[in-house]
Structure 1
Amino acid sequence: MVLINSYSMENQRFDIVEENYHHIFQLLCQIKLSKEKLELIKSKFKDNINSLRRYENIDDMKELLKILEKRCVIGHDNIVKLYDIVETVDDASKQKIGKHLTNQSFWLSKIPSTPINLAFCQDTQMCSTIPEFSLSVEVTDYISSNIKRYWQNFARALQIIQEKEIDRIEEFDGNKTKKCLEIFVHEANFQRLSNPYGTLLNALEVIKRRDIKEHVESLLMASFKRS
């Protein structure tokens, strides 16, 4: 088995993407919106927010953006929904923010969408079956012991755990992060994700735990080399 690591993104390039995204975030927060215009923008994301109490408590753009980030609807590498917001604002803001969104799209096109790409065949012929995805006890224990109270952000960043599952995990007495990982492994195999390892590492990047991501990546690399 040959492991091909395509996570060769330069730190400088990633920093540019993050900085530009935060600038877009700030520009959106600075827009003066009427109550009616804010309600119009909010209505576009009612299903994503999926909580009447939270929806009704949003009274400015900043609060809306924060909730959308927590729901993994927007982020430095997920800007599609930002266009839905920008198309609703005034022309001057639309033009200014539109430039930054164009720049963000350009930089994102230069960065791999997932941290690692695993190839299980030495030649160009693809394997006919996808190996069953699993995580070692070492990886599971390390992640679950370091995420702790931020497990909800992590669960949403994995993108395949539904909100109703997160609600069920909330009532679980054991390690909630470990439960998230169990569900993730099950769903990854059920949905036959082509690169679940990349999805896992990307989720850690999204919740800004690059320290955990780097250690987990080294554990995975060591594991693949032993295979």
Structure 2
Amino acid sequence: MHGITYLDLKKQIAYNVATSDRHREKLDSLKSFFREDINSPRQYEKIETISELLRVLETRDVLSENDIQPLKEIATKMPNSDELLGTIGRYEWTQKQKELPIYQVPETILGKVRISPNEKFSTENFNNGISLLKKQRIYEAVIENIGTFWCALGRNLKIRECVIDEINQNYGDRYAKATRLMEFYEQRADPESWFFDLCHALDETKMVLLRKKIQQIMMMNF
């Protein structure tokens, strides 16, 4: 097992923000905090997920593999800040060892740089690495509970109006329409942010309880 990577660290921070209560409020607060770094009103308004915010910070050279201060700032604003900061500390320790000559980093020491099961951020439970069963359960929960709001959800998922009209005309009941909507979304969703985008869209559709439900499914161990 290797130490946590920069990509893993970003994913863990993003996951914690996206699955937190009132995550939209947290995202807005973080956007405001980094407003000067974003340095573009147009770009500021376009940021709708924590992953997009991190990408913009990287584009602005504010965040990088060697400068993770923004991740620290975000971590301090989360309920489990101690755990996140602990993970960040281990990442920084691993990075420092890379700067040392190989002979100064004995294998016996490197072998102790491990992430415990409670701290490990497994790609098996995240984004495109999520198990097929878990993704299926998430989509089933949306399909079964979205009801008459399937159309509004489609718009908040940025699905074109012509596609929504086509679904409305060609599929009978709400269940069939919601099923086709999620099939269409799955085909076109960003594999890195599909879950965050779905949570955000459910919040915008005023389906907060359903958003919490799929967040619970995402955190389940199967």
Q: TM-score normalised by the shorter chain: which range applies?
A: 0.3 to 0.5
Give the structure with the higher percent helix. Answer: 2
Give TM-score scaled by structure 2 length: 0.44
Give TM-score scaled by structure 1 length: 0.43
